[in-house]
Each structure stands twice: as C-alpha cells, then as structure tokens.
Structure 1
Amino acid sequence: MLALSHEAGFKTVTAISERRHEESAKEETKSPKEILHLEALILFSHNKKDEALKLLSKESLDYTPAWMQERPDNIQDFFDKMTIALLSSKPQKLAFLGLFDSLGIKDANQFLDEISKAGIEKDLAIKKQLLEVLKTYETHKLSENELISYKIFLWFLENEAASEKFCFHPFRINQLNGTLQNLMEAFTEFHKLEVLEDFENYLIKLKALPHQVQEAMDLMSYQKTLRIIPPTMVLIKSANIAIEMASPVEENIFYKTFAEALKRGKFQDSSTWIAKLEAILKEKVIPIFEELKSHCLDLVKDSDWNSGASSLPDGKEYYASRLRFHTTTSHSAEEIHALGESEVVKIHKELRELLAEEGFSDENKSVCELLQLFGKQKNFYFSNDSVGREKCLQKFQAILDRSRVFFEDYFDKKPSYPLEIRPVPKEKEEGAPGAYYYQPSLDGTRLGSFFANLRNMKEMPTYLMPTLTIHEGEPGHHFQLALQSEINLPLFRKIGEYTGYVEGWALYTEKLAYEEGFFEINADKIGHLTDELLRAARLVVDTGIHHYKWTRDKAIDYLSFATGYELSASVTEVDRYFVLPGQACAYKIGQLKIMELREKAKKELGSHFDIREFHNAVLELGAAPLEILEEVIHDYISKIKKRKLSLV
C-alpha cells in the first residue's frame, strides 16, 4: 500500500487504513465509477456543471484520473482531492450537501455512513496522512488565498491528529445530535423523493439502517470497556427517541415520509411500494430500534447523572481539546469560567436598568426573579395549540422581513438563497434546542431552513423572537452560511463548520442589531440581553460541569438563577452541555473576538472605517479558526491603511 507522502505518491481516494495488510487496503479502494462520481462532484462545486456532466458521460469502468497516482503540483487540486478523500466515506454528508442529485447520480443516495470503531480509526488515519502531504507544499510559493486555505486545513488536520487519543470519547447515541438524529434527517430531510428511483434508493438505504444502528451499539459496548458511558439522562432520553423511532408502522416517521411522498407523486402500483416498506419496517427497522432502546436502558445501571468530561479517561485533557476544537482558541477552562462570571455580572446590570424602566425594580429581588416576573405577562405568549403555533411562525416571518430591510446598508454582499421558517419536527422536539438552522444545499435545490421548537409555547415568548430570528436567519446563520456556499472557495471551505466563527458571527449580529436600534421596544431589548446572558452563563456552566465537576443539579440551579429560565428550559440546556463538551463556550468567545477585531479596525482606520468592508472581510473568509480570522482582519486593516496613504 502506498503511504500518503511526497515521495511515495498520492492516493487519497483509496480509503487508506492505519497501515493494515495490503489485502484490507485493496478492499477499501474506491471503484472507478465512484471515483468518477466524486471527480464530477468537485467540478460541480466549482460551478462547472457542464464539465461535470460531460465527465459523467465517459465510460466509468475505464476512468482512472492522473491524480490517483501522483501528488498534485497545484495545491488547489490537492484541496479538491483531499476533500474527496474525506467525503468519500460520508454518503450522509454528501446527501446533506445536495450535490449528487443535481448531477443525476441517484445511486449515491443508497448508502449510510460507517460509524464503527474501524471506520473511526480509518478516518483518522486518512487525516493524519493528508497532513503529511499538506506539509510538503512550500508556503512561500502560495498565493494569498492559497495560503489562507493552507492554514485553515493545517489547523483542522493538526487538531484532529492531536485529539487522536480521544476519538472514542464522544457519545454517538445521544438526545441532541448523534446517530439517531442523523438517521432521522437522512430519511426525512435530505433524501429527495421525486422519481421512482428515489423511492427505490430509499428502501435500499432503509435496509442498511439496522447495520448502522448495530455499529452504534457495538461502539457503545466498546466504549464501556474504556469506561466511557453516557450520563444517565442521556441514555434515558436516547431510549425515548428510540421508542419513537420504533413506532408502529403507520405511525412511524419513515413510513409517513415515504407514503406521503408516494401519494404526492401519484405513481402507479403504489401499493407494491408500500408493501415493501412495511416489510422492511416490521422485519428490520422497528426491531433494531427496540433493541437500541433496551441497550440504552441496560447501560443505565452503570451510568451516572453527573458524569462530565472530567469523569472520562484523561478527562481534563479531553475537555481542553474540545475547548480548543470548538472555540478555536487556546483559552483555558479557568479563563473561560472567569470570563463567563464577569459577563454575567455586566449583563445583569444592564438588565436591571431596563427591567426598572418596565416597572420591575424591586432591589430586594435578584435579576433572575425580576426576569421571571417580567416573563409571566400573558401578552408575551401564543396559545399552546395549532393556532398559536401558526401565529408564532407568522411573527417570525414578519421579523425576518423587517430585518432584511433594516440591515440593507450594513452589508453589500448578500446570499441569493432564500430562507424558510419551519417548526421542529415532532419526533425531534424533546431533545432539540429552542431553534436551529440548516444551510441550503450547494446546488440551491434545498432552501436554508430556520427551525423553531414549538413543543411548548411557554418556552417561546415573543420578546425572545427578534433576537432568535437575527441569530438563525439574517444577518446571522443563514446570511453567513448561505453566502459561504456561494462564494468562490475550495469545497472544504464552503462546507467548513468552525463553531467559534459560525456561532460567534450569529451572536455578533445579535449585538449589532442591539447597538443599531433594531430592537425598538424595551421588551425586545430585554429579550436580547436575556439571550446574551444565556451565552455568558454557558461559559460558567460548561466549564463548571466538565472542568470543575459540577453536578447536574448544580448546573441547572446556576443556569436558572443566572438567566431566569424556567426549570424545563434549564434542564434541556444543561443536558445539551453534557453531550457536547466545550461547544456552548464557542458562542460568546467568537462574538467577543469579532467585536474586538471590529473595534481594532475602527480605532486604526478612523474615518476610513466602513462597516460594510469589515463585514466583507469577515464573511469572504468563510468559517475558519478565530486565530486565522484575526490574521485576515489585520491584513484588511493594513490594506485600507495603504489605500488611504495612496490618496494623500
């Protein structure tokens, strides 16, 4: 087997294992047809659809591109090929990106990801060997844009290599964003059901579902031998989701998705398709989810309600690596904890002043108590029924429409992809956050989607809705991520997901809205500060759980005290932090960094500072580690200074 090095040649699309025997490597080699499909995908991602379609017209059995055997001299080609290497074993990610459908490659949507122990090890081996190749390029020969791409990819690969010892620490089965949620999305959100071939592929993929669930259970069993067991509430909530996914056939989410699409298509012989679906659900899908439910509940006896990252093997080091991964900074847990405490105090002071203006000024009451009193006003809530939920969605749309007009002069680059506002699917409500966003497919056939969790309308007061719309919609997530997918970047940067940047940007736009007067009434300003308070409190709670070994109850109590959140909302938040160590810290860290860079640009550029140019510099980079964003903004400031001098 060829090593991925400059001397030995270049063979990325073969799924290179961790130096296994040659016969194992041979089994993992991509077929010429698969290679051709992936090559076409790269062309399409560069807006070269005609070239991609022309390539697909070739006789695929004879297709062997030159880059299979040699290292590209052009680093842009390397970026494309390494992206293929990383995506070729992730059919669910490819379906999410929405590239193959646009090229008429239907059979690519028959498969699910490999999530086994061997698959995780193989993926890590590919990344380590890609790192070897990347380091062979001479950076002084790269263009400015190539160097930025190099630094981003280097950061990613070095971080992955440094975290190798923790590759089995994450909980793949959880209530928030693991295998269960990914499977649900693979079948209900990201699998088009338009022509008969789509339905056939759906059934083929559904037959493969039990294998992936079994891989997840096998992985959980292996993790148990390493003393890595999810917290008790994670297991219980995951078991509840498995019960939902094992619903009787006609109530099952997979059945409803398939049957409703089949009915819309008005296909002949639909009863035959339904019979096939029912058989797969009864014989394969429902039994495996029932088994998963039992597997989760069996682990409960060995679990603990309070097991944060520090309770895992090498736990504090693991948590430090997750903070590094999510915040993309070198801040320690102690620094982040202290920052959170100071931010909470600052925001409490601002809130107390605004609450006093609204008649809530009892000095004997904490900010938490005042927020709870403020939040009990009935006029802030829609009815907890279908009528109330529909009115809520309409209000979100009205806020979005107003934001587009309000921010017109703050940005001169805007995404062309539209945004839709949807309720979180019933099957996902229990473990889902208050809202989340899905970016559009790269081909534009799937819209950007802002999902609002309407499980309990008491958790969606109207004064929180403007900030939520800014964060998830425009100019927050949709604005940034949709634009990122449209601008001319290598594919790996189009799909980059650096939490500190992505969530930091969304939180920055909330603050921008607050500073510039988008929130017109005190209630909406209080709503904004309440959300910002949550992000500050997260710094304290996340580090409290995972570094200082707080109990779940202590974390819930602190979050409720700091934010005024109802108990149910605090429980959902805290249980999320147990699943994703460090992730919740990225929001505030990213926001503060972007604001720091904006103030630096304002100070150094004076009257030559243009908010639109600053936003261009941030957005045109696309998602990246914050330390690289800082370099880019420093370069932007230098260029504006030079331009200013040239005009003197």
Structure 2
Amino acid sequence: MRKTVFLAIILILGSCKNDNDSHAFAKAEQLKISQEFNNWLEAQFQKDLARDPEMQTQMGIKTDYGKWTDISSARDLEDKELAESRLKYLTKEVEEQALEGQDLLSYRLYKREQEQKIADYDYRLYSYPVNQMHGMQSEVPAFLINMHQIASESDALAYIERLKGIQPLFEELTNNLSLRETNGILLPRFVFEKVLKDSRNVITGAPFSDFGDKSTLAADFDEKINKLDLDAQRKEELKAMADEALLQYVMPAYENLITFLTDQQQRATGEDGAWKFPKGAEFYQHALNRTTTTSMTADEIHELGLKEVERIHNEMREIMKQVKFEGTLQDFFKFMRDDDQFYYPDTDAGKKRYLSEAKTKINAMKAKLPELFHTLPEADIIVKAVEPFRESSAGKAFYQQPATDGSRPGTYYANLYDMKAMPTYQMDALAYHEGIPGHHMQIAIAQELDSIPEFRKHSFYTAYVEGWGLYSELIPKEIGFYKDPYSDFGRLAMELWRACRLVVDTGIHSKKWSREEGIEYYMANTPNAESDAIKMVERHIIMPSQATAYKVGMNKILQLRAKALDALGEDFDIKDFHDVVLTNGSLPLSILEELVDEYIENTK
C-alpha cells in the first residue's frame, strides 16, 4: 500500500514537473516571439526615421541636420510599397496569437497603419501642399526658426545647407502642385492671395533688400549665431554665408514659387468642397473615416452637429440668466462679440498682457494636475505668440510638441494678429486645450512612455488627440475652475465652435455649401468674431474632415468615462481612467473603448 501511494506521489510530482517545464518552455517561446516582434518594430521605426530628416530634427537627432525630407512622387510610391511589404510580413511572419498585452496592441496598431497608408495612396493628390494653415511656404521657415537649434558651428553650417536645400525642395513642390492640377485638384481661389503674401513676407528685408529690418530667416540665424561661443570674425563669416544662401537659393526658390502660383491663380475657381474632386464623395468619406476613426457618414456627423449646437445653446441660455442679460441668445452673442471689456487692446502692451495671463492660467492648472492624473509629463511648456511672418494666415492657437531629448519644451502658440479674435473669456479654455491638461499632457506623456514601441509615441489619430484637447477644456470646470460665468460661457463657446464644425465641414464637402454659407452659419450660431468664422471656413476647405475630429473624439471620451463610472460606482477613480486614456499613446477610438472595457473588468 505504501509503495502504491509512494509511486502515486512520484507520478504526480513528475507530472507537475513536466507541466512546469512545459509552461516555462511556452513562456520562453512567447518572450522570444515578443522580443523578435519588438525588435522588428524598432527596426522599421529606425528605417522611417532615417528617411525623414525633419522628424530627426523634431526628435533632437542631428544625423541629417542639413537635409529636408523627400516630398517627390517617387517617395510616395516607395512609402506605399514599404507599407505593403510590412503588411505582408505582419500577416505571414508574425504569430498574432502568440502576442499579448502591449505587444498585441502594437501589432494591431501597426497593421492598421500599414493598411491606412496603402488606402491613402489612391488619394495622395487630394491635398493642398501650400495653404494658409500649414503650407510649405510658411512651414519651411517656421521649421528652421523653431526646430533647427544651433548649438555649435556644425549646426550653423547645417542650417545654411538647409537654406540651400529650399530651392530643390520647392522645385519638387511646384511639380507636386502641377501634378495635382493635371488631376483636377487646384487650390481654391481664396488661398492664393494668402499663400502669395506669406511667400513675399519670407523674402522681405535684408539681405533681399538694402533697406528695412532683417528678413525673418536672416534675423533668426543671426540671433542664434550671436549666442555661440565663437570669435567675432567667425560669427560674421557664418552670417555672410547664410546671407549668400538666402540670396542665391532661398530668394529664387520663393520667386519661382510666386511665379508658378500667380499663373495657377488665373485658373482657380470659387468651388470649395471636396465634392468637386474626381471621386470627391468617395474621398470625403475616406477622409471622415480616417479622421474620426469611425464609420460615421457625412449625414450622421451633420445631424450630430445640429443636435450638439442646440444642446449647447440651451446651456448658454442658463448663463444668460446668471448674468441677468435681457434679450435673445443672438443678442448675447453680439454683446460678447462687441463689448470692449472682453478684449485687450491691439497694442504691444495688450499682447504682452495676454501672453502673461495665459502663462499664469497654465501654471495654475499645472498645480492642480495631481488631483486628476497619476502620470505627468516631464517636458515643460512655454507660451509664445505666432511669428509675424505667418500670423495673418495662421490659426488662432496651436501646439508644437517638445523634442524627445528634452532640448526643446512644448509650445502653446497664441495668434495675436487680431486681438478681436482672442476674447479674454475664451482664454482659459484655449490655454487648457493647447497646453495643460490638453495637447501638452497627451503628446508629451506619449513621447516619454517606456512601455510602448517608438512608432506609437509618434502616432497621431486626430479624433483621439483633438478629442482629448476638447475634453481637456471641460476637466478644469470639474475641479473648480471657470468660476466667472463669462469664462464658463467661453468654455461653452469653444465647445459650440467644435459642434458647428461638424455642421459646416459636412455642409461644405458633402452638401455643396459655399464659403459664404459656412461663414454665415458660424456668425448666426456662435459669438465668435467674423475673422474667426472666415478663418475656420477656409480651414474646412483646405483640410476636409479634419475639424470633425474634435467633437466626435470628445463625445467618445465622455461616453467611455460615463460607462466606467456607471459600472464601477465608488471604485471609479478619475486618475485611473485618465491613465488608461493617456498611457497607451494615440489610439483609434474603437481601440480606446476596448481598453476602457478592459479597465472596467480588471477593476471589478
């Protein structure tokens, strides 16, 4: 009997040992697959980085510091073929079922990116490389000014090489514009005047003329050189080299671009929507799917916008009661739009005050972040005015990400070109959206994550990024900010603006609204300045679908938060929820929902 029991024990222990060995082997195999997959992802990221000198600079890498990124049609085809080869590798060589956790999420996201790039190729010409928002005519000098740091003589020489490289870069740019026109895609008529003005601004001043101030690029180069630890003679030699590059390469590049655009301008029309393109309806639906990461149709987005506009109007009427305003909502809009108490003067002192107070608001919010977040960014944020050479055409506010190596902070840009477009009652919401807890929190945290591969730190899903920005306008209210009812009205005005975007973007690109009809809708339904409405409609026109991302993304984040709160009750922690949203990098909304569902189950 004892021998039987002893034998049984030996058999059981042997079985356990075999199970443990089997489990250990399986675990080791899984770790090997995971490591190989992540090594492959890193290799792909480095390959992309090696082909993108401008991204290298954004990340603080100086490998190809004197070069520009290739924008040729041949490069477009290379990108598509590379995406196809990567997709083939993912589907044929990677064992998806062997991946789990972040590895599985990385697999799904990278596969989706390759599929998206392949689908985008058919619509690669459906864009405007020069435009009033982010066209190359202004982005190239802005890149040199804001991204190209000069900490040594070699950095200065690389800057000069980039000045020289603007000429071949712009030759390729005009090729791209010509190819688009051949395929029925020509800049809208209103864009030309703005782009031509930007282009002329860049080549205004010394050394392009013997009078007036230094040109934008010459002034930037001189300022950076003056800070170097070099002898005076060498500094002057470098400045002379930059001036020569500006005259011999930059000026002809811009003059040729101006000549080309002046010619195209003669053939431009007032038809502004994407519907005018070949296969315009298909392109616009593709753009909506890409921007919102949903399958919503133009009609569904339009209707959502109309409903949201009505809801926000009703909330605004409650604020009218708080401040005892007599009249209609449109009367209140006019009061908010016209009364001088809501605007700083259009003077240097007024602009300085605006920037100073924006910094104060961001710092006040920064002190409250531990109440809302477990994870905080290490990168700092600064506030700057948009540079004069592009302020007349740029948007009212935007964010520039920090360098990943910490050499450059994140930047909240406020456009103070027209102070009547920057009411003080919107200052809070604008600072929270572009700065903290908005884009700076989301983008800086993503860049600093150690738990995800590099490609995910630099992915950009518009509905997620802009949805978070708009959601971030609301968060401060929930912890006691916006005590001034006019400031809270400003928050609602910003949300209303995004709701109207759903209506107007789809109106222009799907329902054939004119530019004037879009401007009229904004003026009738928001308190914003007419200059705001004009800029926004013109933005819709040159970036079909982009502006629909904000409200769709915000609504989804709010829906997911409500879902988590309802499911978890007292176990719901806003910090945990925000960690789920922010510590996985940028995500399609459907995948964000899956992660929130997983968080709910794990918490339960």
TM-score, with normalisation over the residues of structure 2? Answer: 0.91
2:566 corresponding residue in structure 1? 603
Identity %: 31
Whether 2:82 is the aligned partner of 1:126: answer yes
Whether 2:452 is the aligned partner of 1:477: answer no
- Determine the C-alpha separation between the residues in 2 that align with 1:240 and 1:125: 38
Contact 2:336 2:527 in 1 (8 A): no
Contact 1:438 1:448 in 2 (8 A): yes
- Determine the C-alpha separation between the residues in 2 that align with 1:73 and 1:392: 50
Amino acid at match of 2:54: Q
1:420 corresponding residue in structure 2? 382
Out of 512, 523, 534, which is 2:497 matched to? 534
Amino acid at match of 1:543: T
1:163 corresponding residue in structure 2? 120
Cα deviations by residue, 1:394-432 (Å, 9 ceiling, x for unpaired): 111111122123343111111111111111111121221
Whether 2:155 is the aligned partner of 1:198: answer yes
Whether 2:47 is the aligned partner of 1:111: answer no
2:104 corresponding residue in structure 1? 147
2:54 corresponding residue in structure 1? 92
Whether 2:590 is the aligned partner of 1:633: answer no
1:514 corresponding residue in structure 2? 477
2:129 corresponding residue in structure 1? 172
Cα deviations by residue, 1:152-179 (Å, 9 ceiling, x for unpaired): 1122211221222101111111111132
1:5 corresponding residue in structure 2? none
- Determine the C-alpha separation between the residues in 1 that align with 2:473 and 2:35: 44
Please say which of residues 189-198 and 276-285 is displaced more in the overlay: 276-285
- Determine the C-alpha separation between the residues in 1 that align with 2:237 and 2:479: 59
- Determine the C-alpha separation between the residues in 1 that align with 2:241 and 2:165: 14
Amino acid at match of 1:552: R
- The alpha-carbon deviation at position 267 of structure 1 amounts to 2.6
2:412 corresponding residue in structure 1? 450
Contact 2:337 2:529 in 1 (8 A): no
- Determine the C-alpha separation between the residues in 2 that align with 1:369 and 1:82: 57
- Determine the C-alpha separation between the residues in 2 that align with 1:262 and 1:133: 47
- Determine the C-alpha separation between the residues in 2 that align with 1:632 and 1:404: 27
Contact 1:306 1:550 in 2 (8 A): no
- Determine the C-alpha separation between the residues in 1 that align with 2:138 and 2:87: 31
- Determine the C-alpha separation between the residues in 2 that align with 1:451 and 1:464: 15
Amino acid at match of 2:445: L
- The alpha-carbon deviation at position 513 of structure 1 amounts to 2.1
Out of 464, 467, 470, which is 1:501 matched to? 464
Please say which of residues 560-569 and 517-526 is displaced more in the overlay: 560-569
Please say which of residues 545-554 and 402-411 is displaced more in the overlay: 402-411
1:188 corresponding residue in structure 2? 145
1:612 corresponding residue in structure 2? 575
Please say which of residues 267-276 and 535-544 is displaced more in the overlay: 267-276
- The alpha-carbon deviation at position 385 of structure 1 amounts to 1.0
Whether 2:171 is the aligned partner of 1:214: answer yes
- Determine the C-alpha separation between the residues in 2 that align with 1:271 and 1:614: 55
- Determine the C-alpha separation between the residues in 1 that align with 2:518 and 2:127: 20
- Determine the C-alpha separation between the residues in 2 that align with 1:128 and 1:307: 33
Contact 1:86 1:126 in 2 (8 A): no
- Determine the C-alpha separation between the residues in 1 that align with 2:547 and 2:446: 23
Out of 316, 326, 333, which is 2:291 matched to? 326
Amino acid at match of 1:112: W
- The alpha-carbon deviation at position 72 of structure 1 amounts to 9.8
1:275 corresponding residue in structure 2? 240
Contact 1:259 1:274 in 2 (8 A): yes
- The alpha-carbon deviation at position 560 of structure 1 amounts to 1.4
Contact 2:34 2:103 in 1 (8 A): no
- The alpha-carbon deviation at position 305 of structure 1 amounts to 2.4
Amino acid at match of 1:129: S
Q: Which runs of 5+ in 1 are unaligned?
A: 1-70, 642-648
- Determine the C-alpha separation between the residues in 2 that align with 1:72 and 1:463: 51
Judging changes above 3 Å, is the alpha-carbon distance between structure 1 residues 440 and 613 closer, same or farther for their aligned structure 2 residues?
same
Q: Which runs of 5+ in 2 are unaligned?
A: 1-32, 208-213
Cα deviations by residue, 1:302-344 (Å, 9 ceiling, x for unpaired): 2122322111111111111111111111111110000001100
- Determine the C-alpha separation between the residues in 1 that align with 2:474 and 2:559: 13
- Determine the C-alpha separation between the residues in 2 that align with 1:95 and 1:72: 30
Contact 1:501 1:623 in 2 (8 A): yes
Amino acid at match of 2:56: L
Contact 1:463 1:524 in 2 (8 A): yes
Judging changes above 3 Å, is the alpha-carbon distance between structure 1 residues 73 and 616 closer, same or farther for their aligned structure 2 residues?
closer
2:10 corresponding residue in structure 1? none
Give the match's secondary structure for 2:583. Answer: helix
Contact 2:138 2:198 in 1 (8 A): no
Out of 507, 530, 546, which is 1:583 matched to? 546
Q: How many residues align?
A: 562
Whether 2:410 is the aligned partner of 1:410: answer no
CA radius of gyration, larger in: 2
1:357 corresponding residue in structure 2? 322
- The alpha-carbon deviation at position 252 of structure 1 amounts to 1.9
Amino acid at match of 1:620: T
Out of 321, 332, 348, which is 2:313 matched to? 348
- Determine the C-alpha separation between the residues in 2 that align with 1:256 and 1:368: 46
2:18 corresponding residue in structure 1? none
Cα deviations by residue, 1:116-139 (Å, 9 ceiling, x for unpaired): 221222222212221111222121
Contact 2:273 2:541 in 1 (8 A): yes
RMSD over equivalenced CA pairs, Å? 1.5
Give the match's secondary structure for 1:537. Answer: helix
Out of 191, 195, 216, which is 1:238 matched to? 195
Contact 1:240 1:293 in 2 (8 A): no
- Determine the C-alpha separation between the residues in 2 that align with 1:294 and 1:580: 25
